[in-house]
Structures are given as C-alpha cells and as structure tokens.
Amino acid sequence: MSRYAPTFPTLLDGFSLETLERDRHSIFALSPGFDVIYVNPAYCAFWEANGGTPGFDTRSPIGVNLFDAIAGVTRSFYRERLERVLASGQRWENLYACPSAETHREYHQGIYPLKNAQGLVIINSLKVERPTDLDARTGAELELAYLQSGGLASQCSNCRRTLRNDDSGLWDWVPAWIADLPAYVSHTICPPCFEYYWK
C-alpha cells in the first residue's frame, strides 16, 4: 500500500518526510482539492484500532476526498477553514474531541500550508486520554432521564453528549449511547459546540 502520492515529498516545506513518518501522532496531508495525498503510519494505526471512518479506507486512502467522510455543518466548517489556510498561507489550530464509549479523548489539530498553496499537512496530537466513567443506568432509566416529549433523545453530533429532558438545559456524557446508539436518538448540536465551532 502506498501511503503518499508520488509528488508529495517535493511539496514539503519546513517538514521532512522522515519526521512525519516517525511521529507517533496521526498525520495526513491533502491536495488543494482536499484529496488525501499522504498518511503516516500512526494515522493508519489509529484508524484501524478505532474502526475507521466511512469514506476513508486505510488500505488505500490516497486520492480519497476528505469531504466524502464529513457531513453537515462540520463539512462547511472545515471547508471554510482549510480554504482560508490555503489562501492565507497561515497555520491554523483547532481543538476537538474524539470520544468512544470507553475512552474520552481530546486532540489539538495543527493545519500547515504546503509551499505555493499545493496542499496542507494536518497533525492531530492527543491532549487528553482517560477512561470514561461507566454509567450503570439501564435502558429504561436512560429513557426516563433523556427522552424528550416527542419520544426522541437529542445527542450532539460533535461532542456526543445527550440533553436531559428535565428543562435544566444540561447535556450529559452517556457512555451506553456511544457504543450502541438506540433508534430513538436524534442528532443535533449542543449550544457550546455550536457557539465554538459554527457561530
């Protein structure tokens, strides 16, 4: 499997391919059209260990468009930021969460323009990783706490917290609904994520 397009090493400005290859954090690079042109070994290991993302195949990721794997407001958010980095030539930083039912993870993302706006290098550095506190509530107890009057529970599609149904406005981390999402959960954006990412 080739992990980079043939021209990728010639585009590096301020990086060496060897440094990117040795880095233990997930790194990938995009063309100006946002096709994947490079993934490092840590990228492949992360995606294989975490079940990957629809649209991204770690066996042959080169040429896949980033936006084939991103939907909704997240797609427009990233498209705008990545286009801005390409146009300005200025690095951009982002913080994001990537939780699972067992593990809470937070990442720092650095997006670096390649020379002559020929692409981007994206470095995802782990900031926080800790076990998720297990929630012992049963399905019926969860429904009682989170189902809204319309019969649906509202889960943030970004941070994956779920809105309580008690008019408190509180959004909770519900581990049971991360690994096994019930049919009655509807995705939305919680107020903090909306304000931070999209307002």
How distant is the alpha carbon of residue 195 from its chain centre?
17
Question: Any idea where the domains of the chain sit in the sequence?
Answer: 8-131, 139-198
CB 149 within 8 A of CB 168: no
How big is the CA angle at 112 (ends 106 and 118), to the nearest 5 degrees? Answer: 140
Say whether pTM exceeds 0.75.
no
Q: How many whole angstroms separate alpha carbon 120 and alpha carbon 23?
A: 17
Task: Tell me the pLDDT of the chain (199 aa) as tens digits.
Answer: 689 999 999 998 778 898 899 998 999 999 999 999 999 999 988 877 776 654 455 556 799 999 988 877 888 999 999 999 999 999 999 988 887 777 778 888 999 999 889 999 999 988 877 776 645 556 777 788 888 888 888 898 888 888 888 888 888 878 778 777 888 888 888 887 777 676 5
One-letter identity of residue 57: D
Q: What is the sign, positive or negative, of the torsion defined by CA atoms of 183, 58, 85, 67? A: negative
Q: Does domain 8-131 have CATH number 3.30.450.20?
A: yes
